[in-house]
Amino acid sequence: MWHPIQADFPQQRPLPDFERGQQSIQPGEVIGIITCGSGAIRPVNQPQPGWPLWLERDYYHAKDHASLVVIGRWKGLPLLLRQAQRGEAKKADWPGLRSWLLQSDANTFDLLTTAAGLASWNEQHRYCGRCGTKTESRKDEYARECPRCHLRHYPRVSPCIITLVWREDALLLARGPRFAPGVYSTLAGFIETGESAEQALHREVMEEVGVQIGNLRYLGSQSWPFPHSLMLGYWAEYQAGDIQFDGVEIEDARWYPFDQLPELPPATSISRHLINSFLRWKGVKEHSAF
């Protein structure tokens, strides 16, 4: 029997500081510009007092800023995206998106995730996938449109499942080869075309660790810009099977008793939310290692 749990994950509610989409911006109005591309964000050379390091201050001029994408408003300030040139981020050694997100609160997390999603879409949909004509940015929505065949190209969102597999006395946690040393996390994978989220969940867990699950419970979702995932978070109860993994995609997976958990993903991640909310539900003190 499930008990209600508190919906305390920030991404489950609209965030008050961030208004998405097109805005009318007055000439001369103060604007913020984020320069982003190739999974990195440019730090500002001389940040304004009280302004974050990733935000450049400028005054709006329709002509000068015509090639920028409007992200929305943040605390009332119009925000625009400047697409980084290819190779620019690597050459200048800008911090990767992951390191910016690790320092972010919930509002900033959504904002930077949106900027990164728009940047990768902008870069990858410069030409129409149907007829090859150069696309143009639409002013009324996040979309690029082909002027020849009018096909619209929207920012890509790729649904993934992420799940905490549990049994009465332990959590099933795993690590991939690119994880930080010692960190174990929940299982995740892309939903394939034609598949429901729940079917993907059964398949991914079987493929990754060879166990059968049931009693699925949806907890919430989080946008995750690597590169454009939407993580759908579940708890799943273990039913049968011994842990087996391939050593390639999963390099280790094991059952951890509630009081002997390894190092876990950061507090801003849905993976950590799945784990912490489960421990609270079970009445176990939250794991503090990070």
Residues in contact with Zn ion, total (CB under 5 A)? 8
Residues 6+ apart with CB under 8 A from 68: 33, 80, 81, 82
Give yes or no for residue 146 binding Zn ion (CB under 5 A).
yes
Question: Which residues are 223's β-sheet partners?
Answer: 230
Give yes or no for residue 157 binding Zn ion (CB under 5 A).
no
Residues 6+ apart with CB under 8 A from 14: none
Give yes or no for residue 130 binding Zn ion (CB under 5 A).
yes
CA torsion through residues 79, 81, 82, 88, sign: positive
Select 82 or 125, whichever has its Cβ closest to Zn ion: 125
> Does 27 sit behind a cis peptide bond, omega within 30 degrees of 0 on the bond before it?
no
Minimum distance from residue 119 beta carbon to Zn ion (Å): 22
Give yes or no for residue 7 binding Zn ion (CB under 5 A).
no
CA–CA distance, 32 with 57 (Å, rounded to integer): 5
Minimum distance from residue 146 beta carbon to Zn ion (Å): 3
Give yes or no for residue 165 binding Zn ion (CB under 5 A).
no
In the sheet that holds 136-137, the strands lie side by side as 136-137, 144-145, 152-153
- Which span (19-27, 55-63, 129-137, 213-221) binds Zn ion, by CB under 5 A? 129-137
Select 7 or 131, whichever has its Cβ closest to Zn ion: 131
Give yes or no for residue 261 binding Zn ion (CB under 5 A).
no
Select 133 or 215, whichever has its Cβ closest to Zn ion: 133
Tokens 């799945």 identify what position?
A: 274
Interface with Zn ion (CB under 5 A), residue from 149, 154, 177, 246: 149
What's the residue count for the chain?
A: 290
- Which span (23-31, 94-102, 122-130, 282-290) binds Zn ion, by CB under 5 A? 122-130
- Which span (35-43, 149-157, 183-191, 264-272) binds Zn ion, by CB under 5 A? 149-157
- Are 230 and 159 in contact by the 8 Å Cβ rule? The answer is yes
Binding site for Zn ion (CB under 5 A): 128, 130-131, 133, 146, 148-149, 151
